[in-house]
Structures are given as C-alpha cells and as structure tokens.
C-alpha cells in the first residue's frame, strides 16, 4: 500500500477526478454517436474503479494489471489525458508493490499498445512517432514515481526497525539503571537501618543480662535503645519520603514548588523557596519540569547527602524561568560515591539524566555542579513550553 494515509487520500481524489473526466468524455463521444467507443470507455472506467478498490483493500498485486487494462479502455473516450494518468498510476503502483522489472515490462507493453491504438485511429507514422515519444516520457515518469515511493517505504520500514531497536535499548538501559539504583538503595538502607537496629538489639541484650545486678545500667541501656529506635524511625521516614516523593498535580508555579518543599520539611530538612521577578504563566511541560527538578533534588538530598539545608530560587526572566536548587553539603547525583571539585559538572543517575534530556527537548538547559557549599542543580527553560 501507499506509505501514508495522506498519500492514499490524495490518490483517492486523483482517481475520482479522473473517473469524472472519463464520464464527461463519454457523454461528449456519445453525442457524436460513437457508441462502441462509449461502451469501451465505460467498461474501462468500471475496471479502473474495481482495480483501485481492490488495491485499497490490500490486493496490491492484482490492482496494477487491472488499472492498465482499465486505462486502455478509457483511452477510447478521451484525448489521452485521462488514460495516461491512469497508466502512470498503474506503473507507479506496480513498481512499488512488485518491483522495477515488472514495471519495465508493463511500461513496454503500454507504449506498444498505445502506438498500435494510435496507428489504428490516425493512420499516420508521424502521429504514431510523436505519440510514442510522449508516452515513453510519461511512462518513465510513472516508473520514477514508483521507485521514489518504493524507496520511501523502504526507508520507513528501516526507520521503524531502528526505532524499535532504540526503544528496546532505552528500555534495557532504564531497567539496568533502575536495577542498579534498587541495589544501591538496598545497600544504603541495609547499612544505615541495619546498624541502628544492631545497636538497639545489643543495648537490649546487655540490659537483659545485667538486670537485677545493675538496674541503673540496665535502664541506661534501655534509654540508649529508645534513642536509637527514634533515630531509626526518623531514618526510615526519610527513606520512605525519598522513595515515594509526594505529588501535587493540581498546583502550578511557585505554589507547586512550595507545596513539595513543605512536604520534605518534615524529614528534618530546612527548605527555603524564593523567587525574583514577577511570576509568569508556565506551560504544562515547563511546570512539570520545574516540579520534577525540585522533587529530584530534594529526594537526592535525603538519600545521598549529609545536607540539612536546601535553598530553592526561581528567577523570572523575559520569557524564561531559571530555577536553582542548592544544598549545603553531600555527594553529587544519585548515589555517586565521589563528588567532583567545586565548579565542575557532575553526571547524576537516571533521574538527573532524564531532567537533562527533558530540558533540551523544551529548548532549555540543565546542569548539576558542586561549589564550596554543596551541590547545585540549575535549570533554565522557556515559560510557555507545552502550553
């Protein structure tokens, strides 16, 4: 079939107009009393319609020969414009669906057939030669159109194959990143929470052994266990918030950033949100990018940083929003073991890479850096993105 729905519709219109011209020509010929030609022309028109309907229903190898036969029939009632148009279409479809060799054989048969028809009507070698030259040119154009369509379809098939491979590779990369992130999170959770639970167990075990002999020491160990239990609970809450950050889909702009910042303040972080300039209307995609940047930054601080303060600053420029998230210490990225020197950009994990890709898609930029105070996330995007 033709490569796109738009192309099929355009050819549908072309065939419809050609059929209409054939009917008009048949009426003119009928007025001159040439009833045999009218019959052949109408029969050819019916064959053309059947051939095109067959092609549109997927019978791609049957349609081109039928179109050629029908085109010869329409030649009896017109001056050659309509029939030649049908023949060009038939040759193009034959090359597209069958191949160039079949198209060349069909083109040769068309040229010879039309020459014989011209000779039988006009009985002039000059007219036959002139008509044959024109038919060769037209048939060549039909072959070129068919080759072009065949090349376009081959490229589309190849592009679809490459797209499937790219999507598969992206999905695989995502799975590997997520698996690595889960493994890293499991290790950190095991080390942090496991250490605290071990201390609680040791304190309670020691209190049990000295109970009755040294009650004061036993109660002291119980108090230590209680402190460690509270610390473990706070640590667990931080991880739960980091692994499942809140979402505020009904808020936009500064209100959305303030809401997510507030939800992280209960984890022990001091989060400040400020803006410079007059707030502008954000597009859907721009608003989502800003929300994800803050969410990802705060989540990384909880999971991988020793920072206890985060400053979020939004600068409104002419047609752009610049957003900065800055903490006061800790490693860069999602579980990155070492931080780069101050001023040097850092490669983060999957979340930060996604933010960088999304910023480029929106016509903006995103980067992660380390300065003397801590980690800095900076993003800049047009405010109307995704309106």
Which pLDDT score is estimated for 323?
92
> What residue ranges define each of the domains in the chain, with the CATH number in brackets?
5-165 (no CATH), 168-242 (1.20.5.1930), 248-382 (3.30.565.10)
Q: Are strands 365-370 and 320-327 parallel, antiparallel or unpaired?
A: unpaired
Distance of alpha carbon 362 from alpha carbon 350, whole angstroms: 18
Pick from 79, 15, 13: which is nearest to 47 by CA?
Answer: 15
Which pLDDT score is estimated for 305?
74
128: tokens are 């036959």
> pTM here?
0.46
Distance of alpha carbon 26 from alpha carbon 32, whole angstroms: 10
Number of H helices, E strands in the chain: 10, 5
266: tokens are 């209960």
Pick from 319, 323, 313: which is nearest to 355 by CA?
Answer: 323
Which pLDDT score is estimated for 345?
39
Distance of alpha carbon 302 from alpha carbon 325, whole angstroms: 14
Which pLDDT score is estimated for 132?
78
Residues with Cβ within 8 Å of 275's Cβ and at least 6 positions away in sequence, in order, are 254, 313, 314, 315, 316
Chain length of the chain: 387
Residue 231's H or E segment, with its range, is helix 215-243
Distance of alpha carbon 86 from alpha carbon 92, whole angstroms: 10
242: tokens are 């980091």
Residue 224's H or E segment, with its range, is helix 215-243
Give yes or no for a contact between 24 and 30, defined as CB atoms under 8 angstroms apart: no
Which pLDDT score is estimated for 313?
93
Query: Could you give the residue ranges of the DSSP H alpha helices within the chain?
Result: 5-31, 35-56, 63-74, 81-97, 100-122, 125-210, 215-243, 253-265, 284-304, 350-361
Q: Residue 387: is it exposed, middle or buried by C-beta count within 10 angstroms (0-12/13-18/19+)?
A: exposed
CA angle 303, 309, 312 (to 5 degrees): 95
Which pLDDT score is estimated for 202?
86
φ/ψ region of 277 (left if φ > 0, alpha if ψ in -120 to 50, else beta) reads: left
Q: CA-CA distances (angstroms) from residue 14 to 8, 240, 281?
A: 10, 63, 47
In order along its 387 residues, the chain shows pLDDT tens digits of 566 677 777 777 877 777 777 777 777 777 777 777 778 778 878 888 888 887 777 766 777 778 777 777 777 676 555 677 777 888 888 888 888 888 888 888 878 877 777 777 665 777 778 777 877 888 888 888 888 888 888 888 899 899 988 888 877 877 776 677 677 667 767 767 777 888 888 888 888 888 888 888 888 888 888 888 887 777 776 666 666 655 555 666 788 888 888 878 777 788 899 999 888 888 788 888 888 888 888 888 877 777 888 999 999 988 888 999 999 875 444 444 344 444 333 445 667 888 888 888 888 999 998 877 788 999 998 886 555
Which pLDDT score is estimated for 334?
42
Which pLDDT score is estimated for 250?
60
């Amino acid at each position: 079939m033709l490569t796109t729905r738009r192309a099929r519709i355009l050819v549908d219109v072309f065939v419809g107009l050609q059929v209409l011209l054939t009917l008009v020509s048949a009426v003119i010929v009928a007025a001159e009393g040439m009833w045999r030609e009218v019959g052949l022309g109408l029969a050819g028109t019916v064959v053309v319609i059947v051939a095109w309907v067959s092609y549109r229903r997927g019978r791609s190898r049957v349609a081109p020969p039928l179109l050629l036969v029908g085109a010869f029939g329409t030649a009896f009632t017109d001056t050659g414009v309509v029939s030649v148009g049908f023949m060009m279409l038939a040759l193009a479809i034959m090359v597209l669906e069958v191949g160039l060799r079949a198209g060349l054989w069909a083109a040769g048969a068309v040229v010879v057939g039309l020459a014989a028809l011209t000779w039988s009507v006009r009985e002039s070698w000059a007219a036959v030669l002139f008509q044959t030259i024109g038919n060769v040119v037209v048939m060549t154009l039909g072959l070129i159109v068919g080759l072009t369509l065949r090349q376009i379809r081959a490229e589309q098939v190849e592009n679809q194959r490459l797209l499937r491979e790219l999507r598969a590779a992206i999905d695989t990369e995502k799975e590997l990143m997520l698996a690595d992130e889960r493994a890293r999170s499991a290790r950190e959770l095991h080390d942090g929470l496991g250490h605290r639970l071990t201390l609680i167990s040791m304190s309670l075990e020691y209190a049990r052994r000295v109970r009755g002999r040294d009650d004061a020491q036993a109660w002291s160990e119980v108090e230590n266990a209680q402190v460690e239990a509270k610390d473990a609970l706070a640590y667990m809450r931080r991880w739960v918030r980091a692994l499942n950050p809140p979402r505020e889909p009904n808020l936009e702009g500064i209100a959305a950033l303030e809401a997510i910042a507030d939800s992280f303040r209960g984890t022990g972080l001091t989060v400040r949100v400020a803006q410079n300039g007059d707030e502008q209307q954000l597009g859907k995609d721009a608003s989502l990018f800003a929300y994800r940047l803050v969410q990802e930054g705060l989540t990384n601080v909880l999971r991988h940083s020793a920072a206890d303060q985060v400053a979020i600053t939004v600068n409104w420029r002419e047609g752009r929003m610049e957003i900065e998230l800055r903490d006061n210490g800790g490693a860069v990225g999602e579980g990155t073991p070492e931080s780069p020197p101050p001023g040097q950009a850092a490669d983060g994990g999957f979340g930060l890479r996604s933010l960088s890709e999304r910023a480029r898609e929106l016509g903006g930029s995103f980067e992660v850096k380390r300065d003397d105070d801590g980690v800095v996330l900076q993003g800049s995007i047009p405010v109307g993105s995704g309106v």
